[in-house]
């Protein structure tokens, strides 16, 4: 069943949260950057492009990841951690195959741009690698 890798594994980084880590570093202690572990990204493809998904459990697991994103964003926002879900696009990987549209560098570069431009109000949302918000 596809729910385990798609919903249980993404939850592992925040459950249970480490008591020794109080959140992102203070701005006064060093230069505060988005890369200072203030963003948790769940990278999953979107179902928005599918008219009729072929695998029910896969579709359910994708919806569960969206809900996990919403819940984790609420649980972690007081610690200054933004949680988003991101669709990397159809990437030329073993899973995407040679017919995929994107080179890995383009997908990764786009995702990094999105992450570096996140604002507090963006937590809990689903984005494409180009920065477009995915409704669900």
What pLDDT, on the 0 to 100 scale, is given for residue 63?
Answer: 86
The encoded tokens of residue 23 equal: 């959140």
> What's the whole-model pTM score?
0.69
58 is catalytic: yes
pLDDT for position 31: 38
**33-128 is a CATH 3.60.10.10 domain:** no
53-81 per-position pLDDT tens digit: 677 888 888 889 989 999 999 999 999 99
Instruction: Count CB-CB contacts under 10 A for residue 74.
Output: 12
Can you say whether the dihedral through the CA atoms of 75, 76, 82, 83 is positive or negative? negative
33-40 long-range CB contacts below 8 Å, 24 or more apart? 34/115, 34/116, 34/118, 35/116, 37/81, 38/80, 38/81, 38/82, 39/81, 39/82, 39/83, 39/84, 39/115, 39/118, 40/13, 40/14, 40/72, 40/76, 40/81, 40/82, 40/83, 40/84
> What average pLDDT values come out for the chain (136 residues) when binned by 10 residues?
52 51 45 56 63 74 89 92 92 92 96 94 95 90
Catalytic residue among 33, 51, 58, 82: 58
How far is the CA of 87 from the CAs of 10, 17, 21, 32, 44, in angstroms? Answer: 14, 25, 28, 26, 5
Q: Where are the domains of the chain?
A: 33-128
86 - beta bridge partners?
43, 127
Catalytic entry in 33, 50, 54, 62: 62
Give the pLDDT confidence score for residue 40 in this predicted structure.
Answer: 82
- Is 129 assigned a catalytic role? no
């Amino acid at each position: 069943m596809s729910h385990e890798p798609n919903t249980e594994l993404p939850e592992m980084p925040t459950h249970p949260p480490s008591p020794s880590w109080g959140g992102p570093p203070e701005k006064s202690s060093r230069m505060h950057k988005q890369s200072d572990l203030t963003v948790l990204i769940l990278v999953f493809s979107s179902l928005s492009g599918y008219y009729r998904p072929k695998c029910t459990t896969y579709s359910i697991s994708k919806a569960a990841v969206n809900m996990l994103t919403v819940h984790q964003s609420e649980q972690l926002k007081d610690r200054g951690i933004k949680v988003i879900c991101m669709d990397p696009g159809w990437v030329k990987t073993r899973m995407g195959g040679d017919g995929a549209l994107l080179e890995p560098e383009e997908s990764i570069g786009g995702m990094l741009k999105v992450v570096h431009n996140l604002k507090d109000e963006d937590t809990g949302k689903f984005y494409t690698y180009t920065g477009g918000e995915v409704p669900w």
